[in-house]
Amino acid sequence: MPVRKPSHWITAAALAGALTLTATSAVAAPTRDNSNNNTTHKITQAVSEQKLTEHLNAFQSIAEANDGNRASGTSGYRASVDYVVEKLRAAGYTPEVQEFTFPFFQERTPATVSADGTQLAAADVAVMTYSGTGTVSGTVQAVDTTGARVGSTSGCEATDFADFVPGNVALLQRGTFCSFAVKAANAEAAGASAVLIFNTGLPNAEGVVAGTLGSPDATTLPTVGLSYQAGVDLLDATEVTVATDTVSATRTTYNVLAETGTGDPENTVMVGAHLDGVLEGAGISDNGTGSAGILAIAEAMAKTKTENNVRFAWWGAEELGLLGAEHYVADLQENDRGALEDIALYLNFDMIGSPNYGRFVYDGNASTFDPGDTNVPEGSAAIEAAFHEYFASVGLASGDTEFSGRSDYGPFIEAGVPSGGLFTGAEGVKTQEQAELFGGQAGVAYDSCYHSSCDDITNVNLQGMEEMSDAAAAVVLRYAMSTHDVNGEGEPYKQKGKGAVGHPKGNDRGHGPHSEHGRGHGHGHDKAAA
């Protein structure tokens, strides 16, 4: 059955003219085997280090050919979409591409501010997200501020600019009474040539203001945040020069989806990973690993007869706030609620090959981390248990990571879809206890190149990635055959033998002792424990 197509879909064929294929190769899917145990073995064998490396190398080559990154809204992301589409076609799928728009922002070079010929320190200057671009010079004019250490209403009302001289650079103070976007828009309406917003000077609010204007439509003016002291010093300045070099625009990006040709479409298992990276680097650990992992699994399962429909998804614009997954879920909620209700569960794979990796599973039963106000749909605990049982069955320790809703599974759990997945760690630091369980180096980040230029092909632990990809493949296949323990559909799944995944037979099987570490992946993995 083809993927249901809500609004804003285009076919892969239609997209091909706009995308440039960077790397392709033929894929031989494994022969179908109706024995669950044999099929699991065949699929985990097919999800090999060689296959994973093939895809990672392709993503690296794409980045190298496209300004060093694969961020949504760039040619590198378009080429990544093209690569995934062509690989899926070669494996026998009919992929679909869902397009959507999003606010894109890039600071190409750091912003600078000079006052009466002297440039401010870089630490005192930060461009506002969605700032306009350009270099302007003009007389600095304070607007409704004396530099007092207060939360100011400076610039919040059009009347604040009653005596403003058009062409001047507006100097405003931060406050909690209106947004940066309102301040900038009022300044632009008054004829300002640029906007400078300095901090309040209150406790813990003296450093540089690093803010956002919310959208590319907020203003066309160069808009820069300043530290409190830098702003106060400008009260006595005459002429300032403000220079920003940015791209702020609404752009189009894409989700890629493909599903198996067999299985119950009213009991669909969704498997996802975000395909985009950040502008700073090639995005190989984050999240070339997850994207490559589920692509290898999709290829391996292409000729497998499944009881449930399996839909694979590569999400766009995750790094900008889970936008691809949010768009997909929202589109179903608005246009095809039946298709949303058909999703039995969602499995997420965001960073599964960190160089100093841990084997972490989303804490769907809240045994380690308090979920707070995060919605945890019933059935998520069973998904967590299935992953831990797999790791135990092959003699590997595993631990928990926060089920916080801040990766692409977030929109699914908000919609009530049971979810789970794997993660190997980001900038959080590995503990001694975790090093003893998983290997690697204690006192060092799981991924010291997280969201930076060194996140390239050398920034992956292939052994860890293969371990996690095998676990992902086994659990995807397990739910492709039966979702009984999640939603009661189908027969209980009874697979035995090494690497088999059956019903959980205890709480947190396969865990080591729990010990919390520091912060992790910014969108979805604050903490993990082993």
The larger pLDDT score, comparing residue 218 to residue 12, is at 218
Averaged pLDDT for residues 183-200: 98
Least confident of 178-182, 475-479, 517-521: 517-521
pLDDT at 514: 33
Averaged pLDDT for residues 432-442: 97
pTM: 0.86
Roughly what angle, to the nearest 10 degrees, separates helices 289-301 and 36-46?
Answer: 140
Averaged pLDDT for residues 352-366: 98
Q: Report d(CA 109, CA 245) in Å as an integer.
A: 6
Tokens at 341, concatenated: 């209700």
pLDDT at 493: 73
pLDDT at 261: 85
Express as a percent the part of the chain with pLDDT over 90. Answer: 83
Least confident of 361-365, 402-406, 512-516: 512-516
Average pLDDT, the chain: 89
Express as a percent the part of the chain with pLDDT over 70. Answer: 87
Asked whether the predicted pLDDT for residue 69 surpasses 50, the reply is yes
Q: Report d(CA 340, CA 411) in Å as an integer.
A: 12
Q: Are 68 and 456 in contact (CB under 8 A)?
A: no
Asked whether the predicted pLDDT for residue 402 surpasses 90, the reply is yes
Asked whether the predicted pLDDT for residue 25 surpasses 50, the reply is no
Averaged pLDDT for residues 217-244: 98
pLDDT band (50, 70, 90) for residue 418: very high
Query: Closest Cα partner for 253 from 315, 191, 199?
Result: 315
What amino acid positions are annotated as catalytic residues? 318
Largest CA distance in the chain: 81
Query: Strand, coil or helix: what is 43?
Result: helix
Q: Are 111 and 226 in contact (CB under 8 A)?
A: no
Averaged pLDDT for residues 149-153: 94
Q: Report d(CA 347, CA 271) in Å as an integer.
A: 5
Asked whether the predicted pLDDT for residue 22 surpasses 50, the reply is no
Query: Strand, coil or helix: what is 83?
Result: helix
pLDDT at 189: 98
Q: Tell me which amino acid residue 90 is.
A: A
Averaged pLDDT for residues 467-483: 98
> Rounded to the nearest 10 degrees, how much is the dihedral formed by the CA atoms of 524, 83, 300, 254?
40
Which residues lie across from 376 on neighbouring strands? none
Spell out where 64-215 has E strands.
96-115, 118-119, 125-127, 134-142, 169-173, 194-198
Q: Report d(CA 361, CA 382) in Å as an integer.
A: 12
The larger pLDDT score, comparing residue 105 to residue 510, is at 105
Averaged pLDDT for residues 91-101: 98
Asked whether the predicted pLDDT for residue 155 surpasses 90, the reply is yes
Query: Strand, coil or helix: what is 160?
Result: helix
pLDDT at 517: 32
Rg (CA), the chain: 25
pLDDT at 197: 98
pLDDT at 30: 31
pLDDT at 39: 81
Asked whether the predicted pLDDT for residue 8 surpasses 60, the reply is no
pLDDT band (50, 70, 90) for residue 172: very high
pLDDT at 495: 56
Tokens at 512, concatenated: 């080591």
pLDDT at 510: 34
Q: Are 184 and 169 in contact (CB under 8 A)?
A: no
Return the residue matching tokens 């099929």.
39
Asked whether the predicted pLDDT for residue 21 surpasses 60, the reply is no
Least confident of 24-28, 53-57, 469-473, 488-492: 24-28
Q: Report d(CA 232, CA 210) in Å as an integer.
A: 17
pLDDT band (50, 70, 90) for residue 209: very high
Burial readout 392-411 (b: 16 or more C-beta within 10 A, e: otherwise) = bbeebbbbbbbbbbbbbbbb
Q: Report d(CA 154, CA 190) in Å as an integer.
A: 14
